[in-house]
Amino acid sequence: MPAAKQLVLSESQKKELEAWTKNPPKPYLRRKAWALLLVASGKAAYEAAQDRRVHANRVTVSDWIEKF
């Protein structure tokens, strides 16, 4: 089983993602922001993927984490 992905956000990154959850520059970024914030708060990628605000594949969430 692969290791859980960790994500540590700076305060400015966290504020930017929180802003995206309310008013994203592009609509798809709202889901991505929620997923990244959930993972940064300690959730696993698969748990973040199942969240009703994200509703994405766990592989997609893992890719978002890697790219961020």
Residue 10 to residue 2: CA distance in whole angstroms: 25
pLDDT level of residue 2 (50, 70, 90 thresholds): low
Describe the crossing of helices 58-67 and 29-40 by its angle, rounded to 10 degrees: 80
* pLDDT, tens digit (0-9, with 9 covering 90-100), for 7-62: 899 999 999 999 999 999 998 999 999 999 999 999 999 999 999 999 999 999 99
Residue 39 to residue 58: CA distance in whole angstroms: 11
Asked whether the predicted pLDDT for residue 4 surpasses 90, the reply is no
Residue 44 to residue 49: CA distance in whole angstroms: 9
pLDDT level of residue 3 (50, 70, 90 thresholds): low
pTM score, whole prediction: 0.89
Identify each DSSP E strand in the chain by its residue range. none
